[in-house]
Structure 1
Amino acid sequence: MTNEVVIVEAARSPLTQRQMYGRTSCELTVEKLLDVTVNGLLQRTKIDEDVVTTLVTVGDGAASRRYAESWRNVFDHIDLHETISSTSAVRLASEAINDDPRRVVLVAGAVGGHSLHEPGRPAGQPTPPGADLWSITRKKQGDFAFASHRRARECALSGDFRREIIPLEVHLDHEMTEFIASDELRQVPEPGGALTPAGAPASNGGAGHDCHPPHQSARAASGACALVLTSAARADDLGLHPRGRLVGVEMLFDIPLTNVSVSQLESVRSYLRALEVPLNRIDQFEVPEEVAVTPLIWLEQFRLNPYMLNPRGGALAFGHLGGLEGIRCVTTMLSALEDTGGTYGVVATSDPEGSGVLLVECLNSP
């Protein structure tokens, strides 16, 4: 037994690119979305709420504070922390567990589909200084966006997301209830203008949508995500079987990833080598898709197999969760590594406060 930081469980809600699942009169507020996701996560792990010692919230600040205080009202022993990014949240959790290996940390957050882009900034325009973007044409960006949609839809139809999603029960009125257990995935025409065959579902369980060209920048999404972390020793004491080990978490840049120069990306290689997990041992990469050019730069600079990067789609398909996107990526990546027998996965994060890297080792690979 060791005091290594482990990820006991990871889960998320269905994601939608409509405001709160398109129900303006729905009772599903951001706090409710967060509460349903966290309760579902704890039920899956069979962890009692009073075992949680620390709550770290990410995302919508006001909603997160109200949700955190609801915990404090019941459990006065709990430590509350508020962050604005996935990297900060996971690093804070890791530091808390290293200080006290008996801590059980819940990292959770939700967003309600706010705009991703600053006023006046054109959506989808890459700005990495020093990058040779001549080879990354608009056609390549459009093709990548389509591939993201296609991968996500294929995985949705095959049930690959079922394990990571906590279903939602939405009461429309006194007589009708909608059971949401899938993401909203929009149809897009294939490259060259071919449309999806008639009769093909627009999402794995959602209503149909008209076909639109794939956007080269992600739409804002609504959704919630949660992780439970603790030490390996504490997990053993509680009879828990962790899904992953947190090998490292670091904020590498003080700017969003879309502004990082190609030369600066070399620090990612250096960081992985310092953790004794070089690039050639990584089985999967999750890279932000706020704009399509970012993952294309990673593919080019790191000479990656396209099927290793965002293999189940990314924010171009699901919508982007802002500062919570990194937690969503960890959740999706763990399931993918388990299904494919992979060991190591990297999540690159991009937030207004900076860009980071999370390195995770999957513990449930066959």
Structure 2
Amino acid sequence: MNEVVIAAAMRTAHGKRNGTLAGIHPVDLMADVLTALVERTGIDPAGVDDVVVGCATQFGDQSSNVGRYSVLAAGWPETVPGATVNRACGSSQQALDHAAHAVMAGQAEMVVAAGVESMSRVPMNAAKEAGFPYGHRARARYGGREFSQGVSAELIAERWHLSRRELDQFSAVSHARAAAAVDAGAFDEQIVPIDVAGTAFAVDEGIRRGSSVESLAKLKPVFAEDGVLHAGNSSQISDGAAALLVTTPQRAKAAGLTPFARYHTGAVVGSDPVLMLTGPIPATEQVLKKSGVPLSQIGVFEVNEAFAPVPLAWLKETGADPELLNPLGGAIALGHPLGASGVSLMTRMVHHMRARGIRYGLQAMCEGGGTANATLVELLA
């Protein structure tokens, strides 16, 4: 199999719901990142074999193959194809897997793995309101129980004995780490500024400085009257886009690029669709087994903060060092633009690895319907 490397990684700052990016069509937002990819790498887009874009809510403004129309909106040659992938919150992490598999197999030499979501323009439940998702037989298989991520998060908190105070403490740390990363300039190189009415938007919009257990304690539970989940310990509804350039070492060298990291191993698993957010636990187990790399050798973990119980349950099960988990903050502070989050997390992680000389990084993402992706990458530069 061909070796696969990530030769470029970039993202927009994440806009909060109905915030700065809300007025930009998701195709245009993705196109801005594709344009920046060409400007920053100097590649000829005509040489890109495919563009695979994750997008979770393919409805309304996101209904017509966002991947293909983003290529056209960016002014790339019509000969460059584009596709759109939906694996819920892990859509763009799956886009990376698709890109890597194509390059590994020799069916492509250069693929863009990307993601976009405008949750301001296309609300998460828009498709549900227009029809009957899941179908009768899938619902009947699970006794008509609700496929709800919020309910799942409450069940996880109960099963792993996670108190509201623990969840709120984790959430406050997420905001503090994200704020510290912004202040240190940790995101500067990776962010693609987006022109909004003549002003460059380049700082993640959802960070709440000074968040504390005391301030979060004032928020009311959302999913159960006596529950522990609320807006402050859940991921933020966001808008954003991100892209990775996936290729071979030889093709990267020919293009004058120094790759960030090698795509080492990927895994995807299915899990209980009712308790749907536990998938990162078996996905991590599988990717470690496939790779042969022990947990002790991994220097950074990105486990998506869909809800605070997800990474905390993952920590309890894996025994990973909490100091190495989401060191720059996560979706609770930085936002979770569903289809873009997988590539956005990977962008943060590979830049962090390069800045700190970290050899191995592992990313895992819980996903609606009870699936999860895990990806292990190895530093090259």
TM interval, shorter chain, is 0.7 to 0.9
SS at structure 2 position matched to 1:215? helix
Structure 1 ranges of 4+ moved more than 6 A? 117-123, 128-132
What residue identity is the alignment partner of 2:355? D
Match of 2:208 among 178, 186, 192: 186
Task: Tell me which residue corresponds to 1:245.
Answer: 262
What residue identity is the alignment partner of 2:187? F
Q: Indicate if the aligned counterparts of 1:17 and 1:219 stay in contact, CA closer than 8 A.
A: yes
Task: Tell me which residue corresponds to 1:4.
Answer: 3
Task: Tell me which residue corresponds to 1:42.
Answer: 38
What residue identity is the alignment partner of 1:344? Y
**Unaligned ranges ≥5, structure 1:** 172-176, 195-212
Q: Distance in 2 between matches of 1:70 and 1:126?
A: 34
Does 310-319 or 10-19 show the bigger shift? 10-19
Deviation of 1:101 after TM superposition, in Å, equals: 6.4
Task: Tell me which residue corresponds to 1:333.
Answer: 349
Deviation of 1:37 after TM superposition, in Å, equals: 1.2
Does 282-291 or 77-86 show the bigger shift? 77-86
Deviation of 1:260 after TM superposition, in Å, equals: 5.3
Deviation of 1:66 after TM superposition, in Å, equals: 5.0
**Unaligned ranges ≥5, structure 2:** 130-145, 217-229
Task: Tell me which residue corresponds to 1:221.
Answer: 238
Task: Tell me which residue corresponds to 1:13.
Answer: 12
Q: Indicate if the aligned counterparts of 2:53 and 2:114 stay in contact, CA closer than 8 A.
A: yes
Match of 2:187 among 158, 161, 169: 161
Does 218-227 or 180-189 show the bigger shift? 180-189
Match of 1:77 among 56, 72, 79: 79
% identical equivalent positions? 28
Q: Distance in 2 between matches of 1:316 and 1:15?
A: 12
Deviation of 1:121 after TM superposition, in Å, equals: 7.4
Question: How many pairs align?
Answer: 337
- Whether 1:107 aligns to 2:113 is yes
C-alpha RMSD over aligned residues = 3.0
Task: Tell me which residue corresponds to 1:342.
Answer: 358
Deviation of 1:282 after TM superposition, in Å, equals: 0.8
* Distance change (3 Å), C-alpha of 1:155 and 1:257: farther
Q: Indicate if the aligned counterparts of 1:19 and 1:112 stay in contact, CA closer than 8 A.
A: no
TM-score computed with the length of structure 1 as normaliser? 0.82
SS at structure 2 position matched to 1:40? helix
* Distance change (3 Å), C-alpha of 1:33 and 1:94: same
Does 180-189 or 142-151 show the bigger shift? 180-189
* Distance change (3 Å), C-alpha of 1:109 and 1:87: closer
- Whether 1:53 aligns to 2:49 is yes
Q: Indicate if the aligned counterparts of 1:116 and 1:219 stay in contact, CA closer than 8 A.
A: no
What residue identity is the alignment partner of 1:45? T
Q: Indicate if the aligned counterparts of 2:30 and 2:241 stay in contact, CA closer than 8 A.
A: yes
What residue identity is the alignment partner of 1:229? V
Deviation of 1:190 after TM superposition, in Å, equals: 2.0
Q: Which has the higher helix share?
A: 2
Q: Distance in 1 between matches of 2:92 and 2:327?
A: 20
The superposition leaves residues 274-311 of structure 1 with CA deviations (integer Å, 9 ceiling, x where unpaired) of 21211111111111111100111122222222220000
Q: Distance in 2 between matches of 1:161 and 1:75?
A: 30
The superposition leaves residues 84-140 of structure 1 with CA deviations (integer Å, 9 ceiling, x where unpaired) of 112321221112112326521011221112545778877744458788735311100
Q: Distance in 1 between matches of 2:245 and 2:273?
A: 26
Deviation of 1:165 after TM superposition, in Å, equals: 0.3
Q: Distance in 1 between matches of 2:263 and 2:274?
A: 21
What residue identity is the alignment partner of 2:169? D
What residue identity is the alignment partner of 1:231? T
Task: Tell me which residue corresponds to 2:135.
Answer: none
Does 142-151 or 342-351 show the bigger shift? 342-351
Q: Distance in 2 between matches of 1:325 and 1:78?
A: 24
Q: Distance in 2 between matches of 1:298 and 1:257?
A: 17
TM-score computed with the length of structure 2 as normaliser? 0.79
* Distance change (3 Å), C-alpha of 1:291 and 1:125: farther
The superposition leaves residues 219-270 of structure 1 with CA deviations (integer Å, 9 ceiling, x where unpaired) of 21100111110112222232221111101122122557962559x9356334
SS at structure 1 position matched to 2:349? helix
* Distance change (3 Å), C-alpha of 1:77 and 1:115: closer
Q: Distance in 1 between matches of 2:102 and 2:315?
A: 35
